[in-house]
Amino acid sequence: MNANGSAGRPDPDIEPCSPAKDARGETLVLLARRANGATVCPSEVARALAAATPAATDWREAMPAVHAAIDRLVDEGLVMLSWKGKPLATRAGPYRIGRGPRG
Protein backbone atom coordinates (compact mmCIF):
# COMPACT_ATOMS: atom_id res chain seq x y z
CA MET A 1 0.00 0.00 0.00
CA ASN A 2 1.38 3.42 -0.85
CA ALA A 3 1.24 6.70 1.05
CA ASN A 4 -2.24 7.60 -0.17
CA GLY A 5 -3.62 4.24 0.94
CA SER A 6 -4.18 2.68 -2.46
CA ALA A 7 -2.45 -0.44 -3.64
CA GLY A 8 -1.21 -1.04 -7.15
CA ARG A 9 -1.00 2.57 -8.27
CA PRO A 10 2.07 4.81 -8.50
CA ASP A 11 2.57 6.84 -5.35
CA PRO A 12 1.70 10.48 -6.14
CA ASP A 13 4.01 11.60 -3.34
CA ILE A 14 7.04 10.19 -5.19
CA GLU A 15 8.17 12.68 -7.77
CA PRO A 16 10.18 10.90 -10.45
CA CYS A 17 13.40 12.66 -11.26
CA SER A 18 13.90 14.06 -14.71
CA PRO A 19 14.76 11.54 -17.40
CA ALA A 20 18.20 10.20 -16.74
CA LYS A 21 20.85 9.58 -19.33
CA ASP A 22 22.61 6.90 -17.29
CA ALA A 23 21.61 3.34 -16.44
CA ARG A 24 21.52 3.90 -12.68
CA GLY A 25 19.34 6.97 -12.89
CA GLU A 26 17.09 5.54 -15.59
CA THR A 27 16.46 2.43 -13.48
CA LEU A 28 15.42 4.55 -10.51
CA VAL A 29 13.20 6.76 -12.71
CA LEU A 30 11.41 3.75 -14.20
CA LEU A 31 10.84 2.22 -10.76
CA ALA A 32 9.54 5.51 -9.36
CA ARG A 33 6.94 5.60 -12.13
CA ARG A 34 5.69 2.11 -11.27
CA ALA A 35 3.29 0.97 -8.58
CA ASN A 36 4.77 -0.26 -5.32
CA GLY A 37 5.82 -3.87 -5.75
CA ALA A 38 6.09 -3.57 -9.54
CA THR A 39 9.27 -4.51 -11.35
CA VAL A 40 11.06 -3.53 -14.55
CA CYS A 41 13.02 -5.60 -17.01
CA PRO A 42 16.66 -4.63 -17.56
CA SER A 43 15.91 -4.40 -21.29
CA GLU A 44 13.37 -1.64 -20.50
CA VAL A 45 16.20 0.37 -18.97
CA ALA A 46 18.44 -0.28 -21.98
CA ARG A 47 15.67 0.67 -24.43
CA ALA A 48 15.04 3.93 -22.55
CA LEU A 49 18.76 4.74 -22.66
CA ALA A 50 18.95 3.97 -26.39
CA ALA A 51 15.91 6.15 -27.06
CA ALA A 52 17.56 9.05 -25.21
CA THR A 53 20.85 8.65 -27.09
CA PRO A 54 20.70 9.91 -30.68
CA ALA A 55 23.82 8.00 -31.73
CA ALA A 56 22.61 4.69 -30.30
CA THR A 57 21.84 2.07 -32.91
CA ASP A 58 20.72 -0.84 -30.76
CA TRP A 59 19.46 -1.00 -27.15
CA ARG A 60 21.47 -4.20 -26.63
CA GLU A 61 24.65 -2.09 -26.68
CA ALA A 62 23.49 -0.52 -23.40
CA MET A 63 23.02 -3.85 -21.59
CA PRO A 64 26.56 -4.08 -20.10
CA ALA A 65 26.11 -0.62 -18.55
CA VAL A 66 22.66 -1.62 -17.28
CA HIS A 67 23.98 -4.81 -15.67
CA ALA A 68 26.85 -2.92 -14.00
CA ALA A 69 24.47 -0.25 -12.69
CA ILE A 70 22.08 -2.88 -11.35
CA ASP A 71 24.92 -4.62 -9.51
CA ARG A 72 25.80 -1.32 -7.80
CA LEU A 73 22.15 -0.57 -6.96
CA VAL A 74 21.76 -4.03 -5.41
CA ASP A 75 24.89 -3.45 -3.31
CA GLU A 76 23.41 -0.12 -2.14
CA GLY A 77 20.11 -1.78 -1.24
CA LEU A 78 18.15 0.48 -3.60
CA VAL A 79 16.91 -2.36 -5.78
CA MET A 80 16.30 -6.05 -5.42
CA LEU A 81 16.29 -8.76 -8.05
CA SER A 82 13.75 -11.47 -8.71
CA TRP A 83 12.69 -13.95 -11.34
CA LYS A 84 9.18 -15.36 -11.58
CA GLY A 85 8.39 -13.89 -8.17
CA LYS A 86 11.34 -15.49 -6.38
CA PRO A 87 14.11 -13.29 -4.93
CA LEU A 88 17.59 -13.55 -6.39
CA ALA A 89 20.67 -12.81 -4.27
CA THR A 90 22.77 -11.85 -7.30
CA ARG A 91 22.24 -11.11 -10.95
CA ALA A 92 22.36 -14.37 -12.90
CA GLY A 93 20.36 -15.30 -15.96
CA PRO A 94 17.04 -13.55 -16.55
CA TYR A 95 15.89 -11.19 -13.82
CA ARG A 96 13.48 -8.39 -12.92
CA ILE A 97 14.33 -5.26 -10.95
CA GLY A 98 12.23 -4.03 -8.03
CA ARG A 99 12.57 -1.48 -5.27
CA GLY A 100 14.94 -2.61 -2.57
CA PRO A 101 14.80 -2.16 1.18
CA ARG A 102 16.39 1.29 0.89
CA GLY A 103 14.59 2.27 -2.34
Which sign does the torsion angle of CA 98, 101, 33, 47 carry?
A: negative
Give the pLDDT confidence of 6-39 residue by residue, as tens digits: 344 443 433 343 334 699 999 999 999 999 999 9
Confidence of residue 56 (pLDDT cuts 50, 70, 90): low
Residue 64 CB neighbour total at 10 angstroms: 11
Residues 6+ apart with CB under 8 A from 84: none
Contact 66, 27 (CB under 8 A): yes
Cα separation of 25 and 31, whole Å? 10
pTM of the model: 0.76
